[in-house]
C-alpha cells in the first residue's frame, strides 16, 4: 500500500485517538526510516524514545527470529528462561533485587502503585496515598492517568483514583508539605519527559530521597523514558547518586518489542505474594529475548561514552542556535533526551523539519523534543542542526 491507501483504511477502521498523521513508515535501519512512498528520513524520535539501539538492530532481530522459531508464549504459569535471564541482567546492573514483567510503561507504573499500597497494608499500616508531580506523565490507565499531573489527560475520565496529590516538580518544600500520614509513596520521573523535558536542579533528588526516608514513604522512580541509556547512564537516577525503592522501565527495554518491568528491593518485593499481581503476556519468551539482546548492548560502556560525546556536540550546536535565534527560549535535557523550548508553538517547526526529512516531535505545545536512537553519529547531529537552522531561519 502507498501512504494514501494506508491513510484511507486507517480513517475508516481505526478509532481516531491519534488524529491525522503525515507519514506511514514502513521500514527502518539504524537511525533511518522509509515511508510507504519510498522517501527516506533521519529519525530523531526513535518511536518515542523506544528504538534506543536504532531500528532493526541485528542482535535484537536475531534474538527475535531465534525465539520466534523456538517458543513465543506460554504464560507465567511456567518458568520462562529468557525472562529469568532478563531479570538477572537487570539485577546485576541496578539497585533492584527483584523484577515483575508486563507490557509497557503504564502497566509497570500500575504495578508499582499497587505494590506500594500492598506493602504498607501487609505491614499493618495502610497508607494508600500517593504524591506525584505537576506536569508529570505516567500512563493512560485509570490509575496512571490519575498519577499523571496534567489536567488535559483527565478530561472526561473522572472521577480519578482517590488519594493522589500533585506537587510542583523540583520543589522539595512542597513535597515535604504533601507527605501527610496517609501517603505511602512518591512517584517521580528523574527528568520529566512528556511534560516538557524538565531537568530538576542538582540535589533535588537527594532531598527527595532523604525526605522519603525520614517520613517513611516509598520512592518510586518512573524511568520508563529516562532509563535504558537515554540520558547517557543506564538509569537516570545514577546522576543523582541515589537509589529508589521501586523503579519502572518500558520504552527502550525491548528496542521496540513491547515489554515493561518493575524492579524493587527485596524488602519492598515482600509486599506482593502469590496471586497478588499478574500479567498474561508479562515477560513472555519473545519480548524477554528481545530485551535480553537489547540490554546486552545497552550495558556496554562504549555505548554510554558514545551518547556522552554525541550529546555534548548536540547541546553545543543547539546552544549556538539558541544564541542566533530569539525564538528559542531554552535548550535543556540530558544525554539524548533533549527539549528545545520555543517562544511559539512548535507544531509548525516539527512539520517543516519533517518536510526536510527529519523526524522529531513535541513535548507539550512549546517544546521541540529530540529522543533519537542512541547510535546516531556526529554527522547525523550536524544534519539535524543544519536543517533546524534552515527552518528557524525561514528557508
Ligand atoms: C511513555 C511513558 C509512560 C507510559 O508508557 P506506555 O508504554 O505508553 O504505557 C509512562 N511513564 C513515562 C515517563 C513515559 O514516558
> What does pTM read for this prediction?
0.98
Mean residue pLDDT across the chain: 97
Distance CA 50, CA 159 (A): 31
- What confidence tens digit (pLDDT) does each residue in 48-62 have? 999 999 999 999 999
Place of cell 517458543: 71
Tell which atom from ligand 1 comes closest to the C-alpha of 222: 13
Residues 253/294, Cβ–Cβ less than 8 Å: yes
**Upstream peptide bond of 159 is cis (omega within 30 degrees of 0):** yes
Confidence at 395, pLDDT banded by 50, 70, 90: confident
| Residue ranges per structural domain of the chain | 59-298
What stretch of H or E contains 34? strand 32-35
Q: What is the pLDDT of residue 40?
A: 98
Q: Is 81 helix (H, G, I), strand (E, B) or coil?
A: helix
Rounded average pLDDT over 180-188: 98
Place of cell 506525584: 132
Distance CA 119, CA 86 (A): 24
Distance CA 57, CA 74 (A): 26
Task: Enter the CATH code of domain 59-298.
Answer: 3.40.640.10
Return the axis-axis angle of helices 347-355 and 378-392, rounded to nearest 10°.
120
Tell which atom from ligand 1 comes closest to the C-alpha of 223: 13
Tell which atom from ligand 1 comes closest to the C-alpha of 106: 9
Q: Is 276 helix (H, G, I), strand (E, B) or coil?
A: coil
Please tell me if the CB atom of residue 248 comes closer than 6 angstroms to any atom of ligand 1: no
Give the count of beta carbons closer than 10 Å to the beta carbon of residue 8: 11
- What confidence tens digit (pLDDT) does each residue in 199-250 have? 999 999 999 999 999 999 999 999 999 999 999 999 999 999 999 999 999 9
Please tell me if the CB atom of residue 138 comes closer than 6 angstroms to any atom of ligand 1: yes
225 CA → ligand 1 middle, Å:
7
Given ligand 1 and candidates 51, 108, 137, 140, which is best to mutate, with the most ligand atoms within 8 Å of its CB? 137
35 CA → ligand 1 middle, Å:
25
Size (the chain), residues = 395
Amino acid at each position: 500500500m502507498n501512504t494514501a491507501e494506508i491513510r484511507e483504511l486507517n480513517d475508516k477502521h481505526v478509532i481516531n485517538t491519534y488524529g491525522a498523521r503525515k507519514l506511514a513508515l514502513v521500514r527502518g535501519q539504524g537511525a533511518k526510516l522509509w515511508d510507504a512512498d519510498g522517501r527516506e528520513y533521519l529519525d530523531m524520535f526513535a518511536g518515542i524514545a523506544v528504538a534506543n539501539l536504532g531500528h532493526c538492530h541485528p542482535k535484537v532481530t536475531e534474538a527475535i527470529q531465534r525465539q520466534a522459531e523456538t517458543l513465543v508464549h506460554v504464560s507465567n504459569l511456567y518458568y520462562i528462561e529468557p525472562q529469568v535471564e532478563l531479570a538477572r541482567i537487570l539485577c546485576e546492573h541496578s539497585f533492584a533485587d527483584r523484577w515483575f514483567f508486563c507490557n509497557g510503561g503504564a502497566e509497570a507504573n500500575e504495578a508499582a502503585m499497587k505494590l506500594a499500597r500492598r506493602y504498607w497494608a501487609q505491614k499493618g499500616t495502610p497508607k494508600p496515598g500517593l504524591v506525584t508531580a505537576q506536569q508529570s506523565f505516567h500512563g493512560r490507565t485509570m490509575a496512571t492517568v490519575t498519577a499523571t499531573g496534567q489536567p488535559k489527560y483527565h478530561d472526561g475520565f473522572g472521577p480519578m483514583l482517590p488519594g493522589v496529590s500533585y506537587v510542583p516538580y523540583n520543589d522539595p518544600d512542597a513535597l515535604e508539605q504533601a507527605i501527610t500520614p496517609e501517603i505511602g509513596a512518591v512517584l517521580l520521573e528523574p527528568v520529566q519527559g512528556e511534560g516538557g523535558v524538565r531537568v530538576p536542579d542538582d540535589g533535588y533528588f537527594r532531598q527527595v530521597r532523604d525526605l522519603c526516608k525520614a517520613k517513611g514513604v516509598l520512592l518510586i522512580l518512573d524511568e520508563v523514558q529516562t532509563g535504558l541509556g537515554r540520558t547517557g547512564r543506564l538509569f537516570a537516577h545514577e546522576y543523582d547518586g541515589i537509589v529508589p525503592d521501586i523503579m519502572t522501565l518500558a520504552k527502550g527495554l525491548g528496542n521496540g518489542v513491547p515489554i515493561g518491568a518493575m524492579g524493587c528491593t527485596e524488602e519492598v518485593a515482600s509486599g506482593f505474594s502469590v496471586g497478588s499481581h499478574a500479567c498474561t503476556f508479562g515477560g513472555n519468551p519473545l519480548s524477554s529475548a528481545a530485551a535480553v539482546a537489547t540490554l546486552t548492548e545497552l550495558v556496554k560502556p562504549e555505548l554510554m561514552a558514545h551518547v556522552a560525546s554525541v550529546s555534548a556536540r548536540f547541546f553545543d550546536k543547539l546552544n549556538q542556535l539558541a544564541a542566533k535565534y530569539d525564538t528559542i527560549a531554552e535548550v535543556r535535557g540530558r544525554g539524548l533526551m533533549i527539549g528545545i523550548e520555543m517562544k511559539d508553538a512548535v507544531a509548525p517547526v516539527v512539520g517543516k523539519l519533517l518536510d526536510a526529512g527529519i523526524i522529531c516531535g513535541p513535548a507539550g505545545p512549546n517544546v521541540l523534543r529530540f529522543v533519537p536512537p542512541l547510535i546516531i553519529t556526529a554527522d547525523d547531529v550536524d544534519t539535524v542542526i543544519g536543517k533546524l537552522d534552515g527552518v528557524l531561519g525561514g528557508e
